[in-house]
Structure 1
């Protein structure tokens, strides 16, 4: 362990946990959320969707595989803080380059360990996600609580511009180029362009601020809207871009935040979930096939759309394609015209790294959609 300094965690309702510093020494604030994965912590920490969130790992033992230089989902750690119960004092994996705590220190991520994460998770399940502070600079809970209460809420948070790429870049197709896709980076993970590339797609990753003219300039066969952080109710530019893409009759595929963008473009609202879905073991029902996929999630908001109706919109008929079996939250949308699929989205992560991989077939579905568009049967 790099440090055994005392640390405290204080929730906005005053609940306090005392433990030991884990990672950098300092103070940090964000929205307290829990993630249920027993593995894949490196991918979680580097997922831009977790920006401004303090992640609590429900699995008690974290860090046993260390940190490597291959599995990052972006260029940095995005979480505001990290909470674990029993961090591994040494890694045991042939790919490990350093310990998890060493990387947290390198990137100045403040965390806390040696607390009852089960009790903390149960508290958040009962009360809902809330603002939180972690400090290893002092142990005065009242002083830290006062700072927590000054922090902004995740509702109304417009964060996409802070995580999106500043400049466009291209991920070449693997093998023969079959399609070109304009991928709108709302907080994209590295594995998404990789999944598309492996299917013969040349991926033009564009900033969240990209205009429709800039999208058209790459001559896309389809438009992809990525995952990302914050409140989808603030993402008006992305919603307008989705509307323009649908109006131009381009195939559209959205993931996570992109699902909420498509939902808003079709005229539906979004709302904040009590504590959200985060982790790599969430069961989702594909209503068309009656297939159940075990999926990776990270979302605190959901689309408010009738679950058992086909709803007409200006772009076609939309219906709920996927449902979370834990709580019946909408997990996917299908848009069709004259019985033919035109756009679709899912609230979870089919590109999931480190897994599960049950939903990878959705990338094939996107290529099928673009094939139909090219053949004129779209």
Structure 2
């Protein structure tokens, strides 16, 4: 049973994932009326994104959720790139110019729960299940029609509704890019793991990449590239990936698969982030490889940036031209992330032995250069996207 949808609002947000929740909370905190709708029933989302980087924790301070997130996650101050038992490149976040010199590992459903609690505290809510059917705009606002036939009128609308964004489609904004040939296995598991518990490990192997990262509750997140992933990877599937790509001297033993899925990865960027009174944020505007855990982080930062600009116009009386800076500032950031993660993915999935040998030698050489460590740490943490640094 759906709750009643308001008929008017300042900002309509479509999509109640981390990006939509962050934007709604940002607007509510600044005194702007916002209506957030989502087509899914509550609790339908699963633990997909699991990495929250330093820059994201910084911007989330503006809606007072960073401390709660940190208390519910696992602090990981190091990423390592490995070839079985040999470390090729180490990226330490210690010493970065931030109050959060680490990566936080926390499942997406927990991140969403923290953001939803904050939205409720600010007097907001998510209206479910409402699926957008049509969106039109005129010089004074946007009219959205839901699949139920109900309509809502807003001064502005934001698509935070993911890669297959209905808002982007209705706005007529192109989504340029392509799809990687490989598919990905994603699984949360319990396992006997005789490695560092506070480190994200990226294992390169001839068969492909596998990432192992700690999660709260004794779980581990496994991400791996395969030619054709099974729809629901089993314990045996995950064990085989770790046996062939993970540590050889102290191999992992998977004892339970808590949740698993497969997906294909695109690298795409919206041609524009704005079409008059309609805006895009998060995966509706950019999608890319999961390498480095950049996707949700870039989207949350989109939301805070857009929320600040919308509230400056709607609550503070600034000129509407201030909204132009959203695309100007945020689209180049996403373009850089798409390019960076694409390079990481292609380096990790080199198929020929001579290329892999050269890659490994190159990474080991880079590992001796302090400036490389800092550059990688700044890039992965997304602190490099802050122009004040």
Taking structure 2 as the reference length, what is the TM-score of the superposition?
0.24
Taking structure 1 as the reference length, what is the TM-score of the superposition?
0.25
Which structure has more RCO (C-alpha within 8 Å, separation ≥ 6)? 2
